[in-house]
Copies of this chain bind each other. A is one copy, B any other.
């Protein structure tokens, strides 16, 4: 529930819908990350988010039922249920992807190699003490709008921070799991090593 500022019970239909879409996208990113880095911790987070998703979908259904008074309203609101259900199903399949991490087998090289060569890729970068990112917030860093890199999760010591908020502040030795283009990856590597101060 760390992802949400509000509890599902206190959210309106629109807030729930937005949260479901955000979580579903996060789950897909995390699912691929868990496979790429063979991380059970990330796979566990995908499972936890799936539970959150179930609760959100339940609250959305309740609100939709209460909001439908006329036949036309019911028809329109049924589309919200349809789309929400598709979003929930997408997250469910994300979980199917991360499930392979918990097995004993090594992940097949075709999967690993493929995940490194898609249009948008997921990568891991560790911040060194001379990196200009240290002490900066995610908002200040402008990684998304300046180099097209989205930070999905951060590993700090033994702790994981998923979907860091704008006010999240980077620390020395943070390991970032991020999504972006190959060029964004190269730039972030330089920033992480303190070899680049502007972007």
Q: Which residues of A contact B (CB under 8 A)?
A: 13-14, 17-18, 21-22, 25, 28, 35, 75-77, 79-80, 82-83, 85-87, 89-90, 93-94, 96-97, 99-100, 103, 105-108, 110-111, 113-115, 117-120, 142, 144-150, 180-181, 183-184, 187
Contact = CB atoms under 8 A, between A and B. Distances in A.
Contact of A114 (B18, B113, B142, B181): B18
Contacts of A107: 79
A189 to B, nearest CB: 13
Secondary structure of the A contact surface, majority rule: helix
A90 B28 contact: yes
Contacts of A148: 144-150, 180
Contacts of A183: 142, 144-145
Copies in the complex: 2
Given A14-B110, A111-B17, A184-B145, A79 B105 contact: yes
B105 A76 contact: yes
Given A25-B120, A93-B86, A118-B18, A80 B145 contact: no
Pairs of residues from A and B, 8 with the lowest C-beta to C-beta distance, nearest first: A148-B148, A145-B183, A86-B96, A17-B114, A86-B93, A89-B93, A76-B108, A86-B97
Given A14-B114, A86-B93, 4 more contacts: A77-B108, A86-B94, A144-B183, A146-B148
A19 to B, nearest CB: 9
25 contacts: A14-B113, A14-B114, A14-B117, A21-B115, A25-B120, A28-B90, A75-B105, A76-B105, A76-B106, A76-B108, A80-B110, A82-B96, A83-B96, A83-B111, A86-B96, A87-B97, A89-B89, A90-B90, A90-B93, A144-B148, A144-B180, A144-B183, A145-B187, A146-B146, A148-B150
A18 B119 CA distance: 9
